[in-house]
């Protein structure tokens, strides 16, 4: 059975999920959508048996999480538990060969540093809440996926996604925005290019995904567009 064109997307109903899902379907991929708001697969990953959805799937794009950077510890812990459930399902499927994990630029304190390079340690951005729970959870999810994929010879991309807005404007409502937030904007077309390459990626890698290429982020850790 040919599985190369079979993709499962968790969190398919969010802003990023909607962009990716529509794009991949138009490109001819067979996409299984898994989201608590999805009409066909209305699934709470923390409560339902998700294992059957992962059978005969080659690539999993994991987006499901509370995307609010202001979340507290309880919601951040839920994001980690969702990741653990997805890892268990990938292990049980025996067909999943690649995981694309939606991490975040918030694994860096990007507003308070001059440049992001390979040597920049993962440290949660605390601008949105003093204890940085959102970024800390993303860092832990990256670690969990990398441990699992290395131990099971799977391909992995941790994509440290920049700021994606629904209307593709930064800021979305013509309001003033912090300079660094504009620096880490990710446009819809660039997101599509990244996903198009990511679904054929072989290896284990961590990349920053933004549209601006002006030196704030070192070229070596930018996902190639």
Question: Please, which pLDDT band fits residue 3 given cuts at 50, 70 and 90?
Answer: low
Q: Is the pTM of this model over 0.85?
A: yes
Q: Average of pLDDT values for 193-212?
A: 97
Q: How many angstroms separate the Cα of 206 from the Cα of each of 30, 74, 132, 146, 201? A: 26, 26, 20, 10, 12
Are 180 and 80 in contact by the 8 Å Cβ rule? The answer is no
pLDDT at 176 over 90: no
**Peptide linkage before 171 cis (omega within 30 of 0):** yes
| pLDDT-based confidence at residue 99 (cuts at 50, 70, 90) | very high
Which residue is associated with the tokens 């991309």? 157
Strands (E), 82-196: 98-104, 155-161
Please give the Cα distance from 182 to 166 (Å, whole number). Answer: 15
Q: What is the 3-state secondary structure (H, E, C) of 176-221?
A: CCCHHHHHCECCHHHHHHHHHHHCCCCCEEEEEECCCCCCCECHHH
Domain boundaries, the chain: 6-221
Instruction: Identify the band that residue 1 occupies on the pLDDT scale cut at 50, 70 and 90.
Output: very low
For residue 109, what are the CA distances in angstroms to 79, 115, 116, 122? 20, 10, 9, 8
Q: Which CATH number fits domain 6-221: 3.90.870.30, 3.40.50.720, 3.40.50.10860, 3.40.1440.60?
A: 3.40.50.720
């Amino acid at each position: 059975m040919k599985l190369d064109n079979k993709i499962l997307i968790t969190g398919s109903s969010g802003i990023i999920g909607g962009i990716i899902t529509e794009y991949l379907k138009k490109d001819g991929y067979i996409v299984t959508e898994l989201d608590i708001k999805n009409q066909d697969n209305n699934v709470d990953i923390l409560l339902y048996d998700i294992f059957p959805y992962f059978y005969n799937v080659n690539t999993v794009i994991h987006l499901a999480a509370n995307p609010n950077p202001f979340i507290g510890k309880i919601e951040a812990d839920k994001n980690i538990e969702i990741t653990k459930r997805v890892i268990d399902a990938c292990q049980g499927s025996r067909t999943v060969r690649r995981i694309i994990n939606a991490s975040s630029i918030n694994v860096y304190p990007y507003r308070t540093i001059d440049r992001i390079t390979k040597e920049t340690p993962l440290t949660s951005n605390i601008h949105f809440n003093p204890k940085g729970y959102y970024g800390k959870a993303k860092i832990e999810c990256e670690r969990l996926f990398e441990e699992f994929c290395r131990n099971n010879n799977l391909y992995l991309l941790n994509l440290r996604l920049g700021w994606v807005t629904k209307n593709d404007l930064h800021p979305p409502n013509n309001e003033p925005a912090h300079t660094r937030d504009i620096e880490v904007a990710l446009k819809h077309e660039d997101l599509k290019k990244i996903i198009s390459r990511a679904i054929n990626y072989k290896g284990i890698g961590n990349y920053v995904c933004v549209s601006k290429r002006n030196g704030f982020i070192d070229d070596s850790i930018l996902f190639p567009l």
